[in-house]
Structure 1
Amino acid sequence: MAICQTVSECTTYLTFCVTCAVFIAFVVYCLYVKHIHAKYDHIPGPPRDNFFLGHILTFRREMKSDRVMHDILLEWTEKYGPVYRINVFHYVSLVVCCPDTTKEILLSPKYSKDPLVYKHLFHLFGLRFLGNGLVTAMDHDVWYKQRRIMDPAFSSSYLRCLMDTFNERAECLMQHLEEIAEEGTIAKMHRLVNCVTLDVICKVAFGVDLDLLKHPDSPFPNAIELCLQGMLHYLSDPFFRFLPWNKKKVQEIQDAVKLLRTTGAKWINQRRKAVENGEDVPKDILTKILKTAEELEVDGEEDHELMLDNFVTFFIAGQETTANQLSFAIMELGRHPEILKKAKEEVDDVLGTRLDILYDDLGKLTYLTQVLKETLRIYPTAPGTSRWLHEDFVIGGLKIPAECSVIFSSYITSRMEKFFKDPLKFDPERFHPNASKPYFCYYPFALGPRSCLGQTFSQMEAKVVLAKFLQRFDFNLVPGQSFDIKDTGTLRPRSGVLCTIKHCAKSTS
């Protein structure tokens, strides 16, 4: 009896101690949040939804309403000015739309990527995802080591050699579209160009033929979409993983991550063995990466994981953004017959009836380049980036204390009247070689040393696909579809760009 009473008293005492500890921790955290508010509240910004949650509830409402998250940031920019704060728990981020600050921070290597965002993408719901790849690496030495390995695979001399693959895969799309035109069915252009860009990145990067137009049941497109959805939920809704009704979706996302990393490991190991055995291997990006890694004596376990990190990065980013850009470009050309007519005339002048597009042809397609640039102005498929302020800074006369993140959004600046007259008007003449352009307001591939490694690759591919499409087909957008944007982490057309197409009257040879 005495023993039971002693155990009961110990349990009661332990419960009391734990309760006191939790209470003290809660009070300390409250004081810390209040300290952070006091530290940054001289910076303008929207009222917080909640003392602890900050603006999380607003962001969750925006996601549920299917709006683009950057639209609320644009509204706040117009209301609170070119620099304002947003709060999430005890974290503070600044949204900055000052060209001078954009230039100073993004062009400098001393400002690392924001750990609050990019550390989260190391894992996705408990599984290693982008890890320390080129996009997410925050340590400069880790990033620079990888960049040295990747650079030869994206040199101008190597990119010239990719024209055959660009032509081949684009030609597969043209043949598929001819069948659709003959059948008189609806072309779902976003899905189709998505298949082509994924085919291209798998072929030129990893030497693998997926041929998704003939094998639409491939699990890879769905896996990529699930990963993108997961990124969006993971970054904007910290409660998503723990809500019971999201359990199935979280499991699907985890399975998608496993598929991509398992596939990457398989393809990389197969290629490494082939190289070791002296077999003939494709002179693709993977071979170049393995060769450069060998020259740099990069062969540790973590180096292998980094290769997988970059495999997933290329697999997703190497096709998703280009496909979205092409889809938006086709959508806007369909909405503006006069622009479409001018683009088609240029393609006809440069290519005539010749089907094979040469590298030298790309530089002659100047108006098509303007169309693609204007597409990225209104629809930057990767709309923003962020950096970490590790020291005090002054922006627009406001002193910014260190230890906060700074968000830069090309989506916001590209849609501001301050920088672009009538910003929602699709006007490729903004990018005429002789047109005046505002600086550091348009950066769809980011700026500075951490800008997108594959931007030249992406725009070459986009130009080949779009030029072939305009050369071979006339098209009309299906009436009644939405021209809204769907935010899946990247931006894509909500309706998928549904078109009726027919073969051009002129013959090709």
Structure 2
Amino acid sequence: MAFFCVLIFGAKALLLLFSLLFIAFIGFCLYIKYIHKKFDHIPGPPRDSFLLGHSPTFLETMRNDGVVHDRLLEWAEMYGPVYRLNLLHEVFVCVTCPETTKEVLMSPKYLKDKFLHKALFNLFGQRFLGNGLVTARDHELWYKQRRIMDPAFSSLYLRGLMGTFNERADKLMDKLAEISDNESPANMLHLVNCVTLDVIAKAAFGVDLDLMTNTSPFPKTIEICLKGMVYHIRDKLFQFNPKNRPFINEVKAACRLLRTTGAQWIQDRKTAMQNGEDVPKDILTMIIKTAATEETMAEEDEEFMLDNFVTFFIAGQETTANQLAFCIMELGRHPEILEKAKKEVDDVIGMKREISYDDLGKLIYLSQVLKETLRLYPTAPGTSREIVKDIVVDGVRVPAGVTCMFSSYCCGRMEKFFKDPMTFDPDRFHPDAPRPYYCYFPFALGPRSCLGQNFAQMEAKVVMAKLLQRFDFTLVPGQTFDIQDTGTLRPKSGVVCNVRHRNHKH
């Protein structure tokens, strides 16, 4: 009898559970219906499904190793300067209207959006960028961090980094000389990854990794984190598939490695400061000073320091390496542009070993080449904000509370902003050419624009100038010029080159 009672009770409980799940599902469907009704006056591509919205299109693009941003560009051309995307119950509005870009990105009242903050705060439950400079939503919290970090990016401090930029770039040149002597091909993406990681470790954190001669887990670790980030953002159901468990564990381990490394480096620097040793006014010192402004150091503040460590470690390396690799790829495809850039380097730098800060200002054509590289290949392809009040974009009302996405990738490849957009033409950025109006923003715009952009462009110029000064390079035939979309954009082929010492005529 008792057995039957338990059985009946169990059946009732199960029935109740199913009923509750069914009610919850109906509620969710009604909510999605409400969301559709609220935003469906905004044009946009047909949804793949009522519940999933456009998610299947994105997942299929990722599965086929495609570039999601190409799909966004296609839709921008098709549906105009504002269109809607649905991912489950979330709505995103993609904007390529320069006036709206200016209004939203230049104002501090439009916050970083909740969706991205949540997606980057942790990866699959493991803290990643947390509340660092890139992800902090609260304006006061962000502003305090930015104010303290600013001195580490002042032009005075950056001038002082020229020695580090030169020294690390020289190690890359030594490596290329070795490769040239062996007549073996050079994977330029791998090599510039090593040099930018060397630079950020030394200039920002006072650590010698010397990746040209040493092996390190960091390049692979960063790659895994970024790959995990893409799935975490674009595939809501990724973590629920048991097949993905090994990869998810790999991503979590990679996040942990970055944070434990940061904790060690911060501790070593704190000890040096407590012992009264001279320490550089670099990013690491600034991170510690940010924490010191707190009345008491809670565990959360320790995490906060690590958030900024991971943010700078990744942002200061990955994007610059990709820009350099794309730049080398495009120069390899355009010998006439390559010759012009070499001639400028010869005229400005000649045979000097040490490039000075003043030299960089004279490398005007090389600056144009680097800017044009970022137009076609913005390594951080876009940014997003939360719309706090109803706005009108090109005659279309966009209700408050939605996330607005701004894509430098899409704008940079649109005919209405750049004539023959797929042609690599550095003269678009000639000092006398008209400036692009809020349609070129590889470092974002306004108060939340990239703090490290001058650092990154100085570093890129020093590396490119030394490369052009000392080597001839040609692309190994048969490789693809495709883009790999790993959250940031990188050349899929790795940019494999034959490198030879230059025979200088003078």
TM-score calculated relative to the size of structure 2: 0.98
Contact 2:284 2:309 in 1 (8 A): no
Once residues 476 and 3 of structure 2 are traced to their aligned partners in structure 1, the CA distance between those partners, rounded to angstroms, is 78
Q: Give, in angstroms, the shift of residue 71 of structure 1.
A: 0.2
Aligned runs of 1:117-196 on 2, under 5 Å? Answer: 117-196=116-195
Check whether the contact 2:201–2:207 (CA below 8 A) recurs between aligned residues.
Answer: yes
Aligned twin of 2:482: 484
Instruction: Quote the residue 2:8 is aligned against.
Output: 9
Report matched runs for 1:233-252 at 5 Å: 233-252=231-250
> For the residues of structure 2 that align with 1:192 and 1:8, how far apart are their CA atoms?
66
Offset of residue 270 of structure 1: 1.2
Paired letter, 2:312: F
Report the Cα distance in structure 2 between the residues aligned to 1:270 and 1:95, rounded to whole angstroms: 45
Conserved? CA contact 1:230–1:250, under 8 Å:
yes
Determine which of 266, 269, 274 is the counterpart of 1:268.
266
Report the CA distance shift for 1:254/1:423 in structure 2 as closer, same or farther (over 3 A).
same
Deviation at 1:446, TM superposition (A): 0.2
* 1:337 partner amino acid: P
Aligned mates of 1:389, 1:491 — CA distance in 2: 26
Percent sequence identity over aligned pairs: 64
1:357 CA displacement: 0.4
**2:415 maps to 1:417:** yes
Letter of the aligned partner of 1:258 in structure 2? R
How far 1:429 sits from its partner (Å)?
0.2
**Aligned position for 1:79:** 78
Any conservation in 2 of the 1:181–1:501 contact (CA below 8 Å)?
A: yes
Instruction: Supply the distance in 2 between the matched residues of 1:441 and 1:358 (Cα, whole angstroms).
Output: 32
2:441 — aligned with what?
443
Counterpart residue number, 2:95: 96
Match of 2:311 in 1: 313
Once the two structures are TM-superposed, the CA of residue 320 in structure 1 deviates from its matched residue by 0.4
The one-letter code sitting in structure 1 at the alignment partner of 2:337 is I
The answer as to 2:500 corresponding to 1:502 is yes
The answer for the alignment partner of 1:493 in structure 2 is 491
- Residue 460 of structure 2 is aligned to residue 458 of structure 1: no
- Report the equivalent of 2:404: 406
* Secondary structure of 1:120 counterpart: helix
Counterpart position of 1:203:
202
Q: How far 1:456 sits from its partner (Å)?
A: 0.4
Tell me how many residue pairs correspond in the alignment.
506
Q: Secondary structure at the match of 2:208?
A: coil
CA RMSD of aligned residues (A): 1.4
CA contact (8 A) 1:149 1:293 kept: no
Of 227, 230, 245, which aligns to 2:228? 230
How many angstroms does 1:55 deviate by?
0.5
SS in 2 for 1:419: coil
Q: What is residue 30 of structure 2 aligned with on the other side?
A: 31
Tell me the distance in 2 between the aligned counterparts of 1:410 and 1:12.
Answer: 56
Tell me which amino acid in the other structure corresponds to 2:448. Answer: R
- Give the letter aligned to residue 390 of structure 1: V
Does the aligned pair in 1 maintain the 2:326–2:490 contact within 8 Å?
yes
Report the CA distance between 1:293 and its aligned residue. 4.3
* Partner Cα distance (1:45, 1:39) in 2: 14
More displaced 10-residue stretch of structure 1: 224-233 or 291-300: 291-300
Go from structure 1 to structure 2 and tell me whether the alpha carbon gap of 1:299 and 1:41 turns closer, same or farther (over 3 Å shift). same
Partner SS, residue 83 of structure 2? strand
Give 1:299's match in structure 2, choosing from 291, 297, 300: 297
List gaps (5 residues or longer) in structure 2: none
Q: Aligned equivalents of 2:171 and 2:367: distance in 1?
A: 23
1:141, CA displacement in angstroms? 1.4
Q: Please give the per-residue CA displacement for 1:155-209, whole angstroms capped at 9, x wherever unaligned.
A: 1111110000000000000111111111101011110010000000000111110
CA distance in 1, matches of 2:287, 2:239: 35
The letter of the residue matching 2:268 is Q
State the partner residue of 1:357. 355
Q: Aligned residue for 1:327?
A: 325
1:153–1:289 contact (8 Å) kept in structure 2? no
Q: Please tell me whether the aligned partners of residues 374 and 430 of structure 1 are also in contact (alpha carbons under 8 angstroms).
A: yes
**Distance in 1 of aligned mates of 2:4 and 2:243:** 43
* 8 Å CA contact retained: 1:134, 1:146: yes
Cα distance in 1 for residues equivalent to 2:30 and 2:366 = 56
1:165/1:200 contact within 8 Å kept? yes
Is this contact kept in 2: 1:353–1:507, CA < 8 A? no
Equivalent position of 2:374 in the other structure: 376
CA distance in 2, matches of 1:481, 1:113: 38
Distance 2:43 2:145 in 1: 39
Q: CA deviation at 1:439?
A: 0.4
Tell me if 1:69 matches 2:63: no
- Residue by residue, what CA displacement relative to the aligned partner does 1:371-392 show, whole Å, maximum 9, x if unpaired? 0000000000000111111221
Deviation at 1:16, TM superposition (A): 2.4
What whole-Å deviation, never above 9, does each CA across 1:273-302 have from its counterpart, x for those lacking one? 111121233443212432454366573332
AA at the equivalent of 1:489: G
Partner residue, 2:51: 52
Distance, in Å, in 2 between the alignment partners of 1:150 and 1:297 is 19
Report deviation, 1:18: 1.9
Contact 2:169 2:466 (8 Å CA) reproduced? yes
Q: Equivalents in 1 of 2:269, 2:435: separation in Å? A: 46
Between the aligned partners of 1:291 and 1:218, the Cα distance in structure 2 is 29
Q: CA offsets per residue over residues 247-296 of structure 1, 9 Å max, x none?
A: 22111111111100000001101111111121233443212432454366
Amino acid at match of 2:487: G
For 1:248 and 1:13, how far apart are their aligned partners in 2?
Answer: 38
Note if contact 2:205-2:283 (Cα within 8 Å) is conserved in structure 1: yes
- Aligned position for 1:467: 465
Q: CA deviation at 1:507?
A: 8.2
In the superposition, relative to structure 1, how do residues 27 and 292 fare at CA in structure 2: closer, same or farther (>3 Å)? closer
| Whole-Å separation in 1 of the counterparts to 2:297 and 2:161 | 28
Q: Structure 1 stretch 296-305 or stretch 256-265: which is displaced more?
A: 296-305
* Aligned amino acid, residue 477 of structure 1: L
- CA 1:283/1:140 → structure 2, altered by over 3 Å: closer, same or farther? closer
Q: Distance in 1 between matches of 2:497 and 2:504?
A: 20
Query: What SS does structure 2 have at the residue aligned with 1:53?
Result: coil
Structure 1, residues 114-168: CA drift from partner, whole Å, max 9, x if none? 1112211101011001000011111111111211221111111111100000000
Query: How far apart are 1:244 and its partner, in Å?
Result: 2.2
1:231/1:489 contact within 8 Å kept: yes
Spell out, residue by residue over 1:354-409, the C-alpha distance to the aligned partner (whole angstroms, 9 max, x if none): 11000001100000000000000000000011111122111111111111100000
Task: For 1:396 and 1:334, locate their aligned partners in 2 and report how far apart those are by CA, in whole Å.
Answer: 40
Structure 2 vs 1, CA of residues 127 and 345 (structure 1 numbering), >3 Å: closer, same or farther? same
Evaluate the alpha carbon distance shift between residue 277 and residue 445 of structure 1 in structure 2; reply closer, same or farther with a 3 A threshold: same
Distance 2:226 2:287 in 1: 25
AA aligned opposite 1:265: A
Q: What residue in structure 2 maps to residue 394 of structure 1?
A: 392
